[in-house]
Structure 1
Amino acid sequence: MRVTIAGAGAVGRSIAGELLANGHSVMLIEKDGRKVRTRAVPGAEWVQADACEVTSLEEAQLATSDVAIAATGDDKANLVFALLAKTEFAVNRVVARVKEPRNEWLYTEAWGVDVAVSTPRVIAALVEEAVTVGDVVRLMSFRKGAANLVEITLAEDTPWVGKPLREVPLPRETVLTAILRGERVITPSPDEPLESGDELLFVAHAEVEEQLQAVLAPGTAGAL
C-alpha cells in the first residue's frame, strides 16, 4: 500500500516509521526544510513542498496513493490537504489528525476526511475502556460510513458468559472484530465461548450501540 503523509514532524515521522515497518510504501511531504530529516526515516520518500498547494501535490503524484494522512500541527493545513486529497486527487482513504479538540467538528466528509483522530478523545476513550465494565465505549469514529469502533467489557453477570458466540443475538450492522482476553487477541469464531472480563471490539453503526449494550449488558440498558 502506498501512503502519503503531510507533515514530517514527530507525529508524521512516527507514523511513517510504523508503516514502513509493516511493509508499506511511504512518502512524506514537508514544507519546512528544517523538518526534512531523511536519516530519521530512511526508508521513506521525502518531498519538500507545501502540501496545501495543488501543483505541489501534482508533482508529488498524490493521485497514486492509496491513503493520505494529514499529520501536520495545523488544523487548517490538515483540512485543506484532506480536501485536496479527496476531491482533486481521488485518494481512497483520508485520515486526519485533529490538533485542537475544539476544531474536531470540522473534520467531516465535507472536508474529505474519512477518519479523524483526536489524541485527547482517544486517550479519554482508552481510560473509559480500562475502567468501565458493561458499557459500550466508543474508541473511534469512521465518519464516511457513520460507523464506530466500540468496545464492551463483559461483566460476571452477563447472560452470555460460557456460551458460544453463535448463540448471541447481535444487532444488525454490527461486526465483532476481535476478543481481547488477558494478553491474548482472539479471532472471533461461532464456537468461541465468551468469558467474564472479555473485551469485545466491534465495528457498529451508531444507531445500534444501545441495542448492543442491551444484549451484552442488559442491566445497564438505557445508560447510553
Structure 2
Amino acid sequence: AARTRRHRASTLFLATPRARGRTDGRAKKTPPPRPHRRMSAPPTPATLPEEPEIPPGVHSVWIINKSGGLVFRDVYADIAPIDTNETLRLASMWHSMHAIAAQLGPELRGELPSEVGIDPEHGGIECLETDGFHLHCAQTPTGTKLMLTCAPGTFADHDAGQAVLRTVRDLYADYVMKNPFYEAEMPIRCELFEKRLRDAIDAVNGAA
C-alpha cells in the first residue's frame, strides 16, 4: 500500500500546473544560438573608367543663322555622336549665350545695330576653352555665326582659330550665298561647299 501511495504522489506531482507549463508552451524557452556571422572582406574601390582620348585637330564646323537655327554642321574627327535634336538645342543655346555676352561687353564698337547692340562682327563670345575641347566663333555682319570645335592646342593662339573661320566664311559666301538655288536662313544642302570645306579642314588637321 505504501508503494502505491508513493506512485500516486508522483503522478500528482507530474500533473501540477508548473509541470503542465513545460508541455503546453507557456514556459519560457531558451532562444536558439545565433548563427556565426562571417566577416566579409572590405569592398574594393570601383575602378574609374579611362577618359577617352581627344582626337587632334578640328572636330566640327557649325553654321547658325541670325535667328539661332542650325543650318549646317559637319564632323571631321572621330568624336562622340550627337543626335539631331540635341544639335538644334545646342545651337539655339549658343545663339542666346552669344547675344547675352555681346550685350554685357564693356566696350561698344561702331554704330549700334538694331538687333545685337554692338558691332556683330566683333561682339559676343569668340572663344570658349575647356579641358576637352576649344570652341571658336565668328559672327558675320548679317548675324550668321560660324563656329568650329577643336582639340586643345590645335591653334597657336586665338587669331589662328579666327583665320580658319575666315576661310569658312569665304567658302560660305562663294558656294552658298552665291548659289541661286539656296534660300537664305534655310539648311545648307550644297555638295560643292561641303567638299571645299572638308578639303580646307583636312589641310588644317594635316598641319596640326
For the criterion TM > 0.5, the same-fold answer is no
Structure number with higher strand proportion: 1
Higher relative contact order (CA 8 A, sep 6+): 2
TM-score by length of 2: 0.26
Alignment TM-score, normalising by the size of structure 1: 0.25
> Computing the radius of gyration over CA atoms, which structure comes out larger, 1 or 2?
2
